[in-house]
Structure 1
Amino acid sequence: MKVAIVADRIGWEERRLIDAAGARGLAAFWLDDGDLCAGPAAEGVPPADLYLVRSRGYTRSAVLAGLLGDRDERVVNTAAAIAICQDKLATARALHAAGVPVPPFRVVLTRRDLARALGELGLPCVLKPILGGLGRRVLLIRDRDLADAAYDYVEQFAGGFDRVLLAQPFLPGGDERAFVVGGRVVAAYRRVAGSDWRANLATGGAAERIDADAELTALATAAAGATGAEIFALDVLRDAAGRRFVNEINHVPQFRGGAEATGVDLAAAVLDHLAGHRTVA
């Protein structure tokens, strides 16, 4: 079985996937997404039995997954799933429609929207673009003066989708991540903020293993059904009362920190799923 890893670069995760594939008798190789020059139905893309799309660009992954899907290849994740997961508003809409709890939010298109959102959601408030990852460009607004100053940058420098923002209340009860493969949680951990208020590992947060209880498992299953994603990281926030809300879904999850914190071979879990085997976490 030939597994093509479509990505813009080879990072720790991609190297682990290639190594794990070799240990299972699979042939995994990197396809540089910047060197494909794909035509209709992905003409020109080298053949494989399965394409694992791990391009980090917000449009690159969806474009290539769509072209590969046009020639009826098995693609993980599909273009339809990527389109939902890469857009934070699309994710919230899909989850809300499926009855999955999401943080309250307001769409901010203007300075007037921002003022009203702060009044309705209260402070502190989180303000973020609908496209983005690793906690970048996410602001914690603690006072109205800062909110107004931050919006100056949006008006002056943002373009396209960066002008569409989501405002949501800051939920202080905890930050959890579940690594989901085939609708099943294979590892879960709590993310603890370091010197930065954001708990993302990319911003200096730390990871602590937790058990995937029935509620977290149910949220992961429901999220998989709502988005159609096979492999993803489920980001869950808790409010002060301990209630869980699905905040975001990452369709190209970085998993080095999660693997190290939990001791679970997440690359092996991914490859076993793709090959049709079941990994016991």
Structure 2
Amino acid sequence: MSATPQRPGESRIAVLASRVGADEKRLFDAFDRRGVPFEHVDTRRQWYVAGHSGGRSFDLALNREIGQVRAAYAARSLSAAGVTVVNSAEATEVCGDKWRTTQALEEAGLPTPRTALALTSTSALEALEVIGYPALIKPLVGSWGRLVVPLRDRAGAEAVLEYVAALPGPQSHLAYVQELIDKPGRDIRAIVVGGEVLGAVYRSGESLRTNVALGGQTRPCEVTPEIAKFSVGAADAVGADIAGVDLIEDRDGRLLVLEVNHRVEFTGFQSALAEQVNVADHIVEHLLERAHR
């Protein structure tokens, strides 16, 4: 899929995506309305030759690939071939690993829930004694809250960790454990593009997971100075041009940063803030600025 024909000497922007959903369609429409040439690149059909550009017809790529491994390797390969990728390979890799994200947030001085990485199930039980119950165990790589399990006490943790130890693959045996914040039935999603907070929404659901893709509901949230500071700081900490920053409030109203998403889904956000902001327009504007640097 492409928009208007490319004129001689004009840069073309690629949108990397193996799945075209509602957000990608909004982006395509934003390109079309501006008459900006773009190319939809299905990453499932891509291959790269080391040390060569491969005759790419684009200079900048927006990475919307849903598969974390494909997204990271596509970004690395295109960057090596001289293509500017947004978000960068480094940001994609950091955001795609919860422990690396936590480390980046901590190094930036941002408040986060108490978190530990245990290299074995035995050490995970020791870490949980320090963090305290109730807690959560999360996979290092994953989205939409998949495989996030609450741990109410040591007996429950032992049962879950026994299962974790039997999973295939060495990375699956690592335990990312985090205190369970007693939140007021909601969390906050802010979207940052080019160092600017576009807005924020409250997300609520019937379980721990408030992801819109899983049925979570959204409503507008005022962007306070603290939300703006933490959101921009989180995006900067992981090196992301475009980021969905997830924050949470504890019962005392203290704000904490949970994670940063490099491939931000904005359907629910857009629905809640329809009259206030057009996310796709802001993303395209940012890409055009990057293309002309």
Same fold by TM (over 0.5)? yes
Pick from 196, 211, 215 the counterpart of residue 226 of structure 2. Answer: 215
Determine whether 1:273 maps to 2:268.
Answer: no
Give the alignment of 1:8-27 within 5 angstroms.
Answer: 8-27=18-37
**Native 8 Å contact 1:127 1:138 kept in 2:** yes
Counterpart position of 2:198: 186
Deviation string 1:28-76 (CA, Å, 9 cap, x unpaired) is 2210101111112464363213100111222211111111111222210
State the AA in 1 paired with 2:187. Answer: D
- 43-52 vs 4-13, which moves further: 43-52
Structure 2: how far apart are the matches of 1:13 and 1:82? 18
The range that moved more, 67-76 or 90-99, is 67-76
2:247 alignment counterpart = 236
Return the offset for 1:145.
Answer: 2.5
- Contact 1:172–1:239 at 8 Å: present in 2 too? yes
Query: Cα distance 1:88–1:156, how it changes in 2: closer, same or farther (>3 A)?
Result: same
Q: Which runs of 4+ in 1 moved over 6 A?
A: none
Q: In the TM superposition, what is the alpha-carbon distance from 1:144 to its structure 2 partner? A: 2.6
Return the alpha-carbon distance in structure 2 between the equivalents of residues 157 and 177 of structure 1: 31
Q: How many residues align?
A: 276
8 Å contact kept, 1:42–1:67: no
Alignment of 1:1-281 (within 5 A): 1-41=11-51, 43-44=53-54, 46-173=56-183, 174-194=186-206, 196-263=207-274, 264-276=277-289
Of 251-260 and 113-122, deviating more is 113-122
Report if the CA contact (8 A) 2:121-2:174 is conserved: no
Check conservation: 1:176, 1:235, Cα contact below 8 A.
yes
Q: Which region of structure 1 is more displaced relative to structure 2, 95-104 or 107-116? A: 107-116
Question: What SS is found at the alignment partner of 2:159?
Answer: helix
- The more displaced of 202-211 and 123-132 is 202-211
Contact kept in structure 2, 1:131 and 1:161, CA below 8 Å: no
Amino acid across the alignment from 2:193? V
CA distance in 2, matches of 1:29, 1:105: 41
1:118 shift after superposition: 2.5
Length-normalised TM-score, structure 2: 0.89
Instruction: Give the distance between the partners of 2:51 and 2:196, measured in 1 at CA.
Output: 31
Q: After superposing the two structures, state which structure 1 stretch, 180-189 or 114-123, moved more.
A: 114-123
Q: CA deviation at 1:26?
A: 0.8
Q: Cα RMSD over matched residues?
A: 1.7
Aligned partners of 1:205 and 1:10: how far apart in 2? Answer: 21
When normalised by structure 1's length, the TM-score is 0.93
> Any idea what SS the aligned residue of 2:150 has?
strand
Mind listing any 5+ residue stretches in structure 1 that lack a counterpart? none
- Residue 25 of structure 1 and its aligned partner are, at CA, apart by 1.5
Identity %: 34
Q: Classify the secondary structure of the residue corresponding to 1:68.
A: helix
**What is the CA–CA distance in structure 2 between the aligned matches of 1:97 and 1:51, rounded to whole Å?**
29
